[in-house]
Structure 1
Amino acid sequence: MKHFTKLAAAAALGTVMGTAAIAESLYTPNLAYRTGPFAATGIPLMNGQADYMTLLNERDGGIGGVAIDFEECETGYSTEKGVECYEKTKGKAIVTQPWSTGITLQVLPKTNVDEIPILAPGYGFSPMADGKVFQWAFNVPSGYWDAADMIVQYLEQDGSLDGKKIAFLHLDHPYGKEPLPLLEKLAAEKGFELLPIPVGLKEMQNQSAQWLQIRRERPDNVVMWGWGAMNAGAITEAVKTKYPMENFIGVWWAGHDADLKLVGEEGAGYKSISWSFPNPEAPVMQEIKEMVFDAGLSQSNEEEMQGVFYGRGIVMSMILAEAIRGAQENFGTAEIDATQLRWGLENLNITEERLEELGMAGMVPPFSTSCANHTGHSGGWMLEWDGSKFVKVSDLLTPNVDGYSDLIASAAADYATANAPWAMNEECSATN
């Protein structure tokens, strides 16, 4: 069945499915964090996610004629609370959205037993790309090892990295440590010195020691894997110590407009790799404004809606919605279960044409998934702060996955061995 758009999709799907289309709701809980030290970055993402699902409910009556129950369970970014939220919501959920690499790592073995797909867009455990091993986990459209590879590719555009020094300023947390295996591999291959500089949770707002080390070591570049208050603290310290902002690059979670607005024009030149790009003029944004924001159904505000993170939240919910839609069409039922949603997540095909139909052209690169590929490896753009907003300063960068496919495979195999007995998708091969 071909994809339809807007009300036509819901009407057509409801007709095909008949009485199945009167299901009460699709329960897709989000383990959100609107409180705690990471709230400033979590809120715009959660708002974007919620507003897209509200748009589908208001405009289309949900997906396939079934309303989406996008309940939030507040974690405060606490791993312990995140696990509690997972246990609380898993009974009727067709998906879990952990919203933290730490929480993801804790619920990963649980979901393999409970058979509930994890949707972790752009975060989580990088080896989840191996769909044969991690049959219930998805980190579409791009993973942390993809991000590290693209950042190194971008730095190489100015010449060889041999003999250069790259500081890796990272949150001392599973999230911040996630890219280290690939960065160490790339450092050995390309001849640069990797200088890891951890930032503890209690040091996020006072990084004077870390930036004293950076000033002393004088790295050619600083790559930041930060989140929440750490990003603002690092950017402020970089300006204060007069580190060249053009040599400072963050992962996609370190590219939040509000953090750069704290320093304004002094932050010009700072960059962030990103698999999403905000387009306030996109048709989907206009519909959200009219049917969600103007109707008083949003927790966002007009300034936030212009930003990178709000737009990224919309893309995240689009990915989930497209997986749901695809599963409904494939199985001929509106009331899909978790196993059927897993099929939908394994068969995403987000083309340029489909993005146009969704009113989201240019907001995310095209990508597709399969039973073997649970990441999609969409690629991304390098964004740069121009003093008032983020702008694209590169063509689409794509990760050289072949260069670390062996690392993905070995890390996935090691995980399965360490967590034996570990159920795999034995019917899945590397080519399907």
Structure 2
Amino acid sequence: MKHFTKLAVAAVVAGVTAGAAMAQELYTPNLSYRTGPFAATGIPLMNGQADYMTMLNERDGGIGGAKINFEECETGYSTEKGVECYEKTKGQAIVTQPWSTGITLQVLPKTNVDEIPILASGYGFSPMMDGETFQWAFNTPAGYWDGADMIIQYLESQGSLEGKKIVHLHLDHPFGKEPLPVLEKLAEEKGFELVPIPVGLKEMQNQSAQWLQIRRERPDYVIMWGWGAMNAGAITEAVKTKFPMENFIGVWWAGHDADLKIVGEDGKGYKSISWSFPNAEAPVIADIKKYVVDAGLTKSNPEEMEGVFYNRGIIISAILAEGIRKAQEEYGTAEIDASQLRWGLENIDMTEARIDELGLTGMVPPFKTSCSDHTGKSGGWMLEWDGEKFVKASDHLVPNTEGYADLIASSAAEYAEANQPWPVNENCGG
């Protein structure tokens, strides 16, 4: 009977696709930041996201017969403006994409009441991976705690960290402080000294004080949790002070091609953990060129389209699109609502075969979400700047989430307790 039902659902979706002109559009607003101090990183990400959705609209008539309205609401990365954008768009939205840890933290309790899923791919509040507690929040396919764990795994593969000193150079913002609980835990377990060095928003382009402290500390490694202009400032200072670039590693938001092109060959050896990778040979790139670029529908350019961030934008929209497809198949309608999309995002199964089928070959590791796991544990690769571009410098790394499972559980419980009444999904079943 279940098999019959699935076939019937597929038939319904196919029928809706055939009558695509009758289907209402799906509203998936993006809280963008093409202006402000982080615009240089926001623009390629937004362009990648928009181009993927435009490609689906132009090539396939949308998803399941429904066109996608991916309207942007500009925040300038301001938390206040981000909340305004959320309130402005939430009426018809089936998802919200906050695009800032600060904005995510502000709208997180609101979405629990409004019952709109948050899609915060690779950012936001790390315990959101606990789907039982955070029913409406997804940091698919990897969270900051996963990133911190994978960086330490990589460093440990280069030799024991016992007695070593690691600087955590970070934006003095909720985003920059996110990995600290896991880094502190790993420092205690593995015997290295962790030295946090914050960078204020007004210091991003002039970090002479921070790098003077780094020279005094003489760390074995610097891990950077940077964003926007902070990254270019730090990389420039590292070159100027002759810090060994092979010992300088950033989170995925500190792996932007444009920042490294400023120093070129001098940046060779710099690394960044990443859950996405630009593959110019992937079929999806050819389709974007055919249906979007050649049609004059992109805001991007050839150089940007080769970069990590543009391609990461593609992956983020592909994750959202896959969640939409899953929901359409399950509920037998193209015009899904926010609650149905939540189910879809909880049932993504990005196998190697599915990744290839979507034309995303080599661009994202496999991952699988569930009711209780809203991240998917994709893992990632260590990327390295070779003087001209980022290349893979490691095999597929997978976070050891069991190592900080107790931290996830306690942090999620603490958040729920502090924000009572906070409904928990007790029907996940693990």
Same-fold status (TM-score > 0.5) = yes
Structure 1 position 54 matched with structure 2 position 42: no
d(CA) in 1 for partners of 2:267 and 2:227?
17
> Helix, strand or coil: the match of 1:194?
strand
Give the structure 2 partner of residue 115 of structure 1.
Answer: 115
Q: Hey, what's the Cα distance between the residues in 1 that align with 2:10 and 2:254?
A: 37
8 Å Cα contact 1:21/1:334 also seen in 2: no
Q: CA deviation at 1:391?
A: 0.3
Matches within 5 A, 1:29-428: 29-428=29-428
Contact 1:267–1:385 (CA under 8 A) maintained in structure 2: yes
**Contact 1:10–1:60 (CA under 8 A) maintained in structure 2:** no
Cα distance in 1 for residues equivalent to 2:370 and 2:77? 30
Q: Distance in 1 between matches of 2:428 and 2:289?
A: 42
Contact 2:167–2:196 under 8 Å retained in 1: yes
Aligned residues of 2:166 and 2:192 also touching (Cα < 8 A) = yes
User: What's the offset of the Cα at 1:22?
Assistant: 2.3
TM-score normalised by the chain length of structure 2: 0.97
- The answer to whether the 8 A contact 1:17-1:332 is kept is no
Q: Is the 8 A contact 1:29 1:69 kept in 2?
A: yes
SS in 2 for 1:303: helix
Q: TM-score, normalised to structure 1's length? A: 0.96
Checking the alignment, whether the CA contact within 8 Å between 2:273 and 2:383 is kept in structure 1 is yes
Q: Distance in 1 between matches of 2:364 and 2:308?
A: 11
Please provide the CA RMSD for this pair.
1.6
Q: Distance in 1 between matches of 2:158 and 2:171?
A: 27
Question: Could you give the per-residue CA deviations for residues 373-418 of structure 1, whole angstroms, max 9, x where no partner exists?
Answer: 0011100000000000000010000000000011000000000000
What residue identity is the alignment partner of 1:343?
A: W
AA in 1 matched with 2:205: Q
Q: CA deviation at 1:14?
A: 3.6
For 1:212 and 1:19, the matched residues in 2 are separated by 64
5+ long unaligned stretches in structure 1: 3-8
Distance in 2 separating the partners of 1:121 and 1:82: 17
Greater Cα shift, 123-132 or 11-20: 11-20
Measured in 2, the distance between the counterparts of 1:284 and 1:10 equals 24
Distance, in Å, in 2 between the alignment partners of 1:94 and 1:157 is: 42
CA displacement at 1:344 relative to structure 2:
0.2
Give the 4+ runs in structure 1 shifted more than 4 A: 9-12, 16-21
CA-to-aligned-CA distance 1:328-374 (integer Å, 9 cap, x gap): 00000000000000000000001100111111111000000000000
Name the SS of the counterpart of 1:223 in structure 2. Answer: strand
Aligned to 1:287, the other structure's residue is in SS state helix
Residue identity in the other structure for 1:262: I
Judge conservation of contact 1:14–1:21 (CA < 8 Å) in 2: no
User: Alpha-carbon deviation of 1:12?
Assistant: 7.8
1:24 Cα deviation after fit: 1.9
- The answer to whether the 8 Å contact 1:126/1:144 transfers is yes
CA distance in 2, matches of 1:177, 1:302: 34
- Paired letter, 1:382: M
Percent identity reads 79
- SS of 1:404 mapped into structure 2: helix
Residue number in structure 2 paired with 1:6: none
Q: CA deviation at 1:427?
A: 1.0
